Amino acid sequence: MTERELSRKAVLKAAGGTSLAAIFGARALQVVAGDEADAATVTTCLLTPEVTAGPYWVQESLTRRNVTEGKPGLPLVIRFTILNARTCKPIPKADVEIWHCDATGSYSAVDGATTRFLRGHQKANAAGKAEFLTIFPGWYPGRTPHIHMKVYIGGNAVHTGQVFLNEAVTRAVYKQKPYAVRGAYDTPHSGDMIYNQAGGSTAELKHVKRTGGLKGYVGTIAIGVVA
């Protein structure tokens, strides 16, 4: 895990309930999109292990970079690089899907809910990169904090996986609002079987703190699939 100092002023007003969509906006998306120097992509073409999609996947095709829908929480930009595990070459136009719980541990689109927050798809560019603007996920009992993902090529699902957050970063984030009201999560990486199945530390996002206009974290990870 690599980390840079986060400016102490105006940590995140959105955590108090202000709409993240209003704070981020199109301009913020443009800022983070050009921030490659802050988080170099991992260059590995190992086949990424498959794990369960879990009970909260729903069939939808919301193509969008910003999946926050106004949910309060610490901003998190996730940058995936999708690679062919056999050739190490990037896979252009791979469709990447993510979904995860909000700061309180709740998922959208389940138990009859019509909400679709913290869910979305993005097409990888010519370099195999797909980026999402979301919030740092919360937790729920029995699982270490995580983000679900799928990769599709030509309309076919070629990978179902989960990515994880560095535990030192997670502890720091969960001391802030709105996460602090729930306290510390109850299942560390060492107690989560899916974390080990997903590759352990290789399934963790590499985090860098962002300073400037959009404070929070940038997380990068390379996903090797068989195309």
Task: List pLDDT tens digits, range 33-70.
Answer: 444 433 344 456 789 999 999 999 999 889 999 999 99
**Nearest CA to 176 among 32, 4, 7, 14?**
14
Tokens 């729920």, located at residue: 140
Task: Say if CB 222 and CB 204 are below 8 A apart.
Answer: no
pTM (predicted TM-score): 0.82
- Boundaries of every domain in the chain: 13-41+54-76+85-221
Pairing of strands 95-99, 119-123: antiparallel
Task: List pLDDT tens digits, range 200-212.
Answer: 999 999 999 987 6
Q: Which fold has domain 13-41+54-76+85-221?
A: Protocatechuate 3,4-Dioxygenase, subunit A (2.60.130)
